[in-house]
């Protein structure tokens, strides 16, 4: 399991990385909100947990969480902060945080909270083969298997489908998905994404229980009956 850590305090960042790595997690450490968001956008399906310091340069943790939640409603987010005001805690939860830990804290308490959140949210492991209607979908291999036929997805098709699967029955924001997968939300990239959505609909159309619907003016939603 890979954790994205955003912490501008170099000493705490090193401590978090060392501790979590020793506990069996793979850690990507960033030192600003901008770097954290860039790392997430470059590999949105790589991370199964996100630790965000609230007070960071360039973009604070709240701004980063807001951007991530536009395209990903389910990956757990835990805020780390020196703030303890109730208003800040409420703001974090309103933005979609799963928990909130005030500094200073014990590393074992952090680990216990991570374990508790993961038990509760039960995120899909990217290396696992999951059931998607009549298909078996392997995110890491980018394959869709139905009966004895296997379809190999392109990189863009797989990135789009994995975002939709992670947010099944939730709306995936169009601009957020474009920034995450194509790097920007230009008109031409938008037309390209529409082509890939059409390709996914054609592939998944072999199972009538699976629908990718347009949510006008917002984005797309994966629905499975």
- Domain parsing of the chain, residue ranges: 2-121, 130-224
The model's pLDDT over 115-171, given as tens digits with 9 standing for 90+, comes to: 888 877 765 555 567 889 999 999 888 899 988 889 999 988 998 998 899 888 888
pLDDT at 5: 96
Confidence of residue 84 (pLDDT cuts 50, 70, 90): low
- Do 130-224 and 2-121 have the same topology in CATH? no
- Alpha-carbon distances of 47 from 91, 152, 181, rounded to whole Å: 23, 22, 15
CATH of domain 2-121: 3.40.50.2300
Confidence of residue 3 (pLDDT cuts 50, 70, 90): very high
Tell me the C-alpha distance between 167 and 164, whole Å.
5
More confident residue, 91 or 114: 114
pLDDT at 76: 92
Domain 130-224: give its CATH architecture. Answer: Orthogonal Bundle (1.10)
Query: Does residue 29 contact residue 16 with C-beta atoms inside 8 Å?
Result: yes
Q: What is the DSSP letter of 127?
A: T
Full-model pTM:
0.64
Helix (H) or strand (E) holding 151: strand 149-152
Report strand pairing: 2-6 vs 26-30.
Answer: parallel
More confident residue, 1 or 207: 207
């Amino acid at each position: 399991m890979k954790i994205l850590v955003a912490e501008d305090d170099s000493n705490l960042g090193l401590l978090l990385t060392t501790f979590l790595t020793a506990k069996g997690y793979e850690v990507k450490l960033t030192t600003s909100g901008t770097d954290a968001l860039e790392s997430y956008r470059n590999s949105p399906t790589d991370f199964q947990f996100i630790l965000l310091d609230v007070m960071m340069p360039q973009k604070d943790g709240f701004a980063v969480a807001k951007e991530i939640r536009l395209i990903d409603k389910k990956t757990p987010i835990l805020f780390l902060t020196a703030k303890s005001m109730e208003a800040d805690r409420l703001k974090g939860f309103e933005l979609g945080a799963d928990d909130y830990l005030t500094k200073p804290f014990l590393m074992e308490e952090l680990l216990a909270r991570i374990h508790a959140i993961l038990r509760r949210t039960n995120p899909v492991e990217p290396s696992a083969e999951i059931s998607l209607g009549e298909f078996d979908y392997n995110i890491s291999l980018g394959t869709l298997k139905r009966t004895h036929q296997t379809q190999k997805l392109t990189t863009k098709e797989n990135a789009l489908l994995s975002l939709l699967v992670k947010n099944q029955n939730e709306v995936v924001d169009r601009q957020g998905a474009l920034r995450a997968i194509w790097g920007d939300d230009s008109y031409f990239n938008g037309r390209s994404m529409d082509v890939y959505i059409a390709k996914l609909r054609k592939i998944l159309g072999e199972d009538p229980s699976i629908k990718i619907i347009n949510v006008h003016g917002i984005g797309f939603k994966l629905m499975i009956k």
